[in-house]
């Protein structure tokens, strides 16, 4: 078995575990059992969750987002959102350094970097910070972090601050939305879902307009 096939199998099992673990919270008996077993383990759950968020950001094929609603029930949606922001920011910083200082020099020996550098023309000349903030609300953290890391125009301080601000809205939307869904508070779920959809389309429109003006 090749390493690629093994990676696909492990990722599939990981995703399946998260899905089953999340679905268990929709049923009273498994949920009550899990909550009883995890009672008093909020710190451990928080540390594990932050670690998972960081790892799934660095190793893009892994998906840890479905775990957010589950954790929000255990430690609360507010702390879950804060830990999501922390984990995604730290993960994005790690990805930035991997892409720019490890992957880019390595790829430069294998391919013509002009093929990658041509994509830098999509970065606007003005309002780069605001452009990155809105782009964070459209493109997944892991993918965008690697893409930006390959470019040279984005400075690290701008990257970090725009990342931190850009992931805050959907961190809270996903945490509170997932929490309200599990708790069967469909009114709150509808509100947060509507806010998320609105933010996504506003960001999409801003990105489109910034591309036309650049």
pLDDT of residue 44: 80
Are 60 and 149 in contact by the 8 Å Cβ rule? The answer is: no
Q: What is the pLDDT along the chain (214 residues), one digit of tens a residue?
A: 454 554 555 455 445 444 544 544 444 444 555 555 555 667 787 888 888 888 888 886 556 667 788 788 888 899 999 999 999 999 999 988 888 888 766 655 555 556 566 666 667 777 788 888 888 888 777 777 887 887 777 888 999 999 999 999 989 998 998 888 888 888 998 998 889 888 888 888 887 777 666 5
Q: Where are the domains of the chain?
A: 3-213
Tens-place pLDDT, residues 5-27: 545 554 554 454 445 445 444 44
Tens-place pLDDT, residues 151-169: 777 888 999 999 999 999 9
Spatial distance between the Cα atoms of 46 and 51, rounded to a whole number of angstroms? 9
Q: Is 4 exposed, middle or buried (0-12, 13-18, 19+ CB in 10 A)?
A: exposed
Q: Which tokens go with 182?
A: 């599990």
C-alpha 94 chain-centroid distance: 13
Q: What is the dihedral of CA 6, 8, 13, 18, to 10 degrees?
A: 140
Residues 6+ apart with CB under 8 A from 49: 67, 71, 75, 80, 83, 87
């Amino acid at each position: 078995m090749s390493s690629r096939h093994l990676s696909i199998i492990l990722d599939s099992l990981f995703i399946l575990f998260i899905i089953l673990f999340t679905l268990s919270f929709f049923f009273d008996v498994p949920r009550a059992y899990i909550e009883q077993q995890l009672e008093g383990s909020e710190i451990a759950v928080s540390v594990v969750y932050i670690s998972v968020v960081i790892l799934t950001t660095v190793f893009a094929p892994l998906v840890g987002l479905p775990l957010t609603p589950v954790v929000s029930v255990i430690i609360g949606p507010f702390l879950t959102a804060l830990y999501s922001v922390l984990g995604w920011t730290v993960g994005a910083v790690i990805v930035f350094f991997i892409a720019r200082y490890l992957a880019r020099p390595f790829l430069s020996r294998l391919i013509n970097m002009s093929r990658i550098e041509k994509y830098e023309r999509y970065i606007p000349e003005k309002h780069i910070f605001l452009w990155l903030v809105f782009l964070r609300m459209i493109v997944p953290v892991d993918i965008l972090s690697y893409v930006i890391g390959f470019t040279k125009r984005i400075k690290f301080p701008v990257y970090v601050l725009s990342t931190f601000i850009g992931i805050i809205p959907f961190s809270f939307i996903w945490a509170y939305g997932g929490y309200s869904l599990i708790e069967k508070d469909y009114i709150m779920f509808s509100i947060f879902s509507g806010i998320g959809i609105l933010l996504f389309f506003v960001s999409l429109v801003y990105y489109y307009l910034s591309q036309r003006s650049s």
